[in-house]
Structure 1
Amino acid sequence: MNAIKAVLESWQQAVVDENLDKIMSHYSDDIVSFDAVKALHIIGKPNYTDHWKYCMQLCGGGIIFEIHQLNIQHSSDLAFCHYLSRCGSVQDFGNENVAWMRATVCMRHQNGEWKIAHEHYSSPFDPETGKAIFDAQPQ
């Protein structure tokens, strides 16, 4: 479990540092992502790299990315993790533009390393208005 947590911590730091190469080094080549930003789903590392570039451009003042309430379940070669993420960016004049998101990450142990093979981020939404609820808070 420590190795899995270490991968998530390294990945999280790479996100905050906006280090695209290090971010992508944590993904399997066949990554499948259901990201909360724009795309319905993204398949494969090249496509996800392009998506990450787009997302990083949206965060001009710096990325905020925190992992809270991390839960890890694993077997010898598969891991299932879920957590709440406080994520967003620092905007002009130092103001934060953040929201709480839900995250599920599945990892595979391959060639001696844990790699993220599936990732899902979402925000709750109001079915009556169809709008995302960005001010939801953890319980």
Structure 2
Amino acid sequence: MNDADTTDEIRIRALVERWARAVHEGDMEGVLADHAEDIVMFDVPPPSDGVRGIDAYRAVWPPFFGWQRQGARFEIVSLEVTAGAEVAFAHALLRCGTPEELRAEPGNRLRLTLGLRKEQGRWMVAHEHHSFSATD
């Protein structure tokens, strides 16, 4: 690993941590920051074919923020980053749920995968995927 790779991984890690903090705080501008105009996101709730574009991405967050105001948590537990010169990916596990949900299933984690690309020297999230594992 060279210094550029390390620097990019540090920058991407900081980007993901800022985004997660913005999600937890219900900060729409912070959630949208560092996301590409043509973002594609596959999320837990519908639509199952995903949302495409920054406007559609923006539209999915208000209901989630409302749910979080009921006391839900959104915290990174683990985060791994792999960065190339122009593209990168990150995957993370998060605690995501209300206190009751987290007590009932303390080990359940939201899985997050991000695909990033460098645009004019700046890392941007181009793909975002959230999922929970299937339960029996």
TM-score category of the 2 structures, normalised to the smaller one = 0.7 to 0.9
1:88–1:51 CA distance, 2 compared to 1 (3 A): same
Q: 1:87: how far off?
A: 0.9
Structure 1's unaligned 5+ residue stretches are 90-94, 126-132, 135-139
On the 8 A contact 1:16/1:62 being kept in 2, the answer is no
TM-score scaled to structure 2, two decimals?
0.81
2:12 maps to 4
1:65 and 2:65 matched:
no
CA RMSD of superposed structures (Å): 1.8
> What percentage of residue pairs aligned between the two structures are identical?
30
TM-score scaled to structure 1, two decimals?
0.79
One of 24, 41, 45 as aligned partner of 1:33: 41
State the SS of the aligned residue for 1:97: helix
CA displacement 1:62-101 (0-9 Å, x = unmatched): 4411112311111011111111111124xxxxx4434411
Structure 1 Cα separation of the partners of residues 100 and 19 of structure 2: 21
1:56 and 2:65 matched:
yes
More helix by share: 2
1:107 and 2:107 matched:
no
Structure 2 Cα separation of the partners of residues 56 and 43 of structure 1: 20
1:47 and 2:56 matched:
yes
Structure 2's unaligned 5+ residue stretches are 1-8, 103-107
State the SS of the aligned residue for 1:84: strand
Count of aligned positions: 122
More strand by share: 1
